[in-house]
Structure 1
Amino acid sequence: MERISKFIECLIPVTKCNIKCSYCYVIQENRREGIIPELRYDLDTMQKAMTKERFGGVCYFSICGAGETLIPEYTIDIVYRLLENGHYVNITTNGTLSRRFDEILERFPKEFLERLHFAFSLHYLELKRLGILDKFFENINKIKESGCSFVVQLNMCDEYYPYLEEIKTMCMNKVQALPQVAVTRKEIKYPKMDIKLHTNKSEKEYIDNGNSFDSPLFDFTMENFKVKRTEFCYAGEWSYQLNLVSGLMKRCYCSCVVQNIFKNIKKPILSCAVGNYCNSDYCFNSSHFMSLGVIPELETPSYADLRDRPQAEWYNDRMRSFLSGKLKNTNIEYGSREKIKSHIVGIYDKVAYKVYLELVAFMKKKKEKGKFEN
């Protein structure tokens, strides 16, 4: 069985979506522009840029759109190329575009499907309003029968409170287990990051409702919510954040150290861990990065343990084995020289990121002032 070598969190900056959820980050930030951006590089170049040889082994690419991930025609092409390269891939989706799932099942060989994982977001009230709940679960079961792995996850929010028992019953009937629960946030990014739980009620009620699903994903996320990490983190060495449209790859979300990995495919991949100089108030996506072990000194549940419902067999054996692994098992930790280099880059990155936030805040204020004056 393959072992995970690197984790790459991938963004497709599509803002078009076929549903409209109150807790959507894109809607919160007024970025729902309905845009499907064109790829800046051809698929052959992208595929050659993301080989096992270049990344140093088998990687896990997790792909998510700012809108619905499967709306762009090219999403499936990118996924095919990554699987052809021998990697494992996750697609985060609202699960409603049946023709896309049919295309995947018709086009992808069985060996590819075994390395494909879907994170199905259960946007319950929107699916109910549109009358497509049955379609959502039909697509999940098609995927399961094909040999793919999946997780069903519910974004906890106030408007779901009256429907929680209804949601539980439906999921038990349709996918033989309760959904995992994702934490929704209210975010202010500029000029200073401010993050809260997405609720107008008490935090206790929010947490109690999440706990009622017996969800390891929810438990782990809440355990690490707004906890500043000071340990040595290997993001930038063992994991990355990549924009699939532009090719720009960062060490992590809040880093200004960037490489365009599609521009020169012969250039080595960026290699400098964030270390002790993380610019984030806390690990925004701890259930991905921390569960895969970017901070090796911390003992954490595996990625698979946080998502699979073993009694319902959401994961195939191959996927469970791969996503039960830790990055420290296939990578080498830094010695003192590498850590000094990381510290130097980290000091630069902290200053650069502060300037970046101030510049964005200034431009945003200027834009808003212009709208007001007009």
Structure 2
Amino acid sequence: MYSNLRSLMFRLPAETSHDLALDMIGAAGRLHLASRLARPVQSHPVKLLGMTFDNPVGLAAGLDKNAVAVDGLAGLGFGFLEVGTVTPRPQAGNPKPRLFRLPEANAIINRMGFNNLGVEAMMERLARTRYRGPLGINIGKNADTPVIRAVDDYLYCLRKVYSHASYVTVNLSSPNTPGLRTLQYGDTLKLLLADIKACQQELASLYDRYVPIAIKIAPDMTPEELTMVARTLKEQGMDAVIATNTTLDRARVAGLQHADEAGGLSGGPLTDVSTEVIRVLASELQGAMPIIGVGGILTGAHAAEKIAAGASLVQLYSGFIYRGPDLVRECVDAIAALKSGAAEQVGS
């Protein structure tokens, strides 16, 4: 059924079909019909970050930037959801067109630019949702905030979302906000994370509740840069790392229509790249914090590969667009089979 629906939706401009699909899922959630859109997903609980995930497969940030379809998305079998990226003030994002499909590569290029209605609107909307599972809120800076003042935007959003979030993701790795990725390196990263950590501790005391913070990083780093980032995350007491965001590399889509469009590339071309980033991080972190794997998960085998490389949870975005809700169940089953096989080996 989904393949037929996708065929119809893919006849529309990418952003139009994205918005229409989100509206439909949101309506299904409001009408308590969302669970009828997907086959049941078995529960495979994962305890992590002080909470229990019903299964290890989540929705990545970017699909529901404004938290307009949380209840509907929750009915599709995800073990957790992440909304955003949200910024302190509403912003329109980059000029359209800014979203492009590359179906030959099961890929998407976007240069959305953190288009969203602002953090105040998101909090009002989340207050009305029924969903009570793990919810990540992905925060960023406004495009017109100078990079040297970026920390102000992150702290503002952190304070606003803290009471609603199960965890907060700090997005330092979108390629579509000028200068943002420079925040991932050296002393700039250390100072930013130190301020975020201090704010987290202040809010934990205020609310008597500790909300973990994850840092989302780019795939376009050398192993040496990844090692330095991992060390900084450990030193500054971060709780998790999400690997990875979209890539600027076009080598795997060269010659395809839209391949030269500016923006971040996601989907199939990112499969092996993000898995290798996870492997490098896992080697350096040695269990110091969990890794959430995202990027190019188009099959259950891809999800299992990321778990085998060192991830504790995975997230879907482009694969969900191309495969639909069945991919969630397929990934949950593949990860369960991987863990079952590993347990049998240990016991034998």
Q: Which band: TM-score by shorter chain?
A: 0.3 to 0.5
When the two structures are superposed, what TM-score results if normalisation uses the length of structure 2? Answer: 0.42
Looking at CA atoms only, which structure, 1 or 2, has the larger radius of gyration?
A: 1
When the two structures are superposed, what TM-score results if normalisation uses the length of structure 1? Answer: 0.40
